[in-house]
């Protein structure tokens, strides 16, 4: 095993042991009223985490809310008990220092993660290839469906207003073309609960006799 990995695991194990000991001391020192207050705080954190995760989730909001709820509750209980134990053993000044250090570590980790996500997302952006609506008539129904799914992912990763506007225009043109080719199938897709990650080509017929081609 490489030395850096071994040192990281050893540090993590030591942190867990120290944190567990501090949490145990904190739980004993709080007593029943303090533990009830910790439980209430965990419940509030769980509700907040579940609400935020449900609103932000694209797929399976219920499962995302459940996962966020129990994780928020566990983290809240652990943090409060560790801080309580630290206050008992090391005093208020050390507790403030530990809390500030923890917040700083979380902020640094969040910043690094955002930078990495931005770097990964940048190459994934594919801008529209045409400035007119003639391109849609050259695509098959499956290709139009893939275009809808592809631009959904690109739109979620794009922050530039001009690029977002172009993607929205291209998506609208693809949907208009699908509706022209098979209005009934397009309506079935909408009725089935059309989402940004669902493929409308599964409902729209590829028969060229539909829509404007029938004229």
Mean pLDDT, the chain, integer: 78
pLDDT in tens, 88-143: 887 878 778 877 887 777 777 767 776 766 665 444 444 444 445 567 788 888 88
Most trustworthy range by pLDDT among 7-16, 47-56, 201-210? 47-56
Residue 70 placed within a domain: yes
pLDDT tier for residue 40 given thresholds of 50, 70 and 90: very high
The residue among 90, 113, 144 that closes a domain is 90
The per-residue pLDDT for 214 is: 35
Half-sphere CA count of 99, side-chain side, radius 13 A: 17
Same domain, 143 and 196: yes
CA distances from 39 to 6, 44, 73, 123, 129 (A): 36, 9, 8, 45, 55
Domain co-membership, 134 together with 210: yes
Of 34, 69, 90, which one is at a domain's C-terminal end? 90
pLDDT of residue 122: 47
Is 112 within a domain?
A: no
> Of the residues 90, 107, 137, which one is the last residue of a structural domain?
90
User: In this structure, are residues 126 and 67 in contact, taking their beta carbons and an 8 Å threshold?
Assistant: no
Q: Are 13 and 61 in the same domain?
A: yes
Number of domains in the chain: 2
Q: In whole angstroms, what is the distance from residue 85 CA to residue 168 CA?
A: 53
197 located within any domain: yes
79 and 138 together in one domain: no
What separation, in Å, do the N-terminal and C-terminal C-alpha atoms of the chain show?
A: 70
- How far is the C-alpha of 169 from the C-alpha of 132, rounded, in Å? 10
Contact yes or no for 139/178 (Cβ under 8 A): no
150 is a domain residue: yes
What average pLDDT score do residues 40-51 get? 88
pTM here is: 0.48
**115 lies in a domain?**
no
Instruction: Tell whether 102 is covered by a domain.
Output: no
The verdict on 132 and 58 lying in the same domain is no
Q: Is the pLDDT of residue 1 over 60?
A: no
187: containing domain: 125-214
Q: What is the pLDDT of residue 116?
A: 67
In a domain, 108, yes or no: no
Please tell me which residue, 21 or 60, carries the higher pLDDT value: 21
Output 80-83 pairs: Cβ under 8 A, ≥24 positions apart.
80/26, 80/38, 80/41, 81/22, 81/23, 81/24, 81/26, 81/27, 81/30, 81/38, 82/19, 82/22, 82/23, 82/26, 83/26
- Does residue 71 belong to any structural domain of this protein? yes
């Amino acid at each position: 095993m490489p030395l850096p990995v071994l040192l990281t695991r050893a540090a993590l194990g030591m942190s867990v042991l120290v944190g567990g000991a501090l949490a145990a001391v904190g739980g004993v020192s709080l007593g029943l009223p303090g533990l009830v207050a910790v439980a209430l705080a965990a419940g509030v954190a769980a509700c907040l985490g579940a609400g935020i995760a449900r609103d932000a989730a694209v797929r399976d909001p219920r499962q995302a809310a459940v996962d966020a709820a129990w994780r928020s509750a566990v983290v809240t209980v652990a943090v409060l008990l560790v801080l309580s134990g630290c206050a008992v053993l090391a005093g208020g000044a050390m507790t403030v220092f530990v809390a500030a250090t923890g917040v700083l570590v979380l902020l640094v980790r969040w910043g690094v993660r955002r930078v990495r996500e931005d770097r990964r997302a940048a190459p994934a952006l594919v801008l529209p290839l045409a400035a007119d609506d003639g391109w849609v008539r050259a695509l098959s129904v499956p290709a139009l469906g893939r275009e809808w799914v592809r631009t959904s992912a690109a739109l979620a990763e794009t922050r530039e207003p001009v690029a977002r506007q172009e993607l929205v225009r291209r998506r609208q043109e693809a949907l208009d073309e699908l509706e022209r080719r098979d209005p009934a199938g397009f309506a079935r897709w909408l009725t089935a609960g059309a989402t940004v990650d669902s493929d409308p080509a599964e409902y729209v017929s590829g028969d060229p006799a539909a829509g404007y081609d029938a004229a």
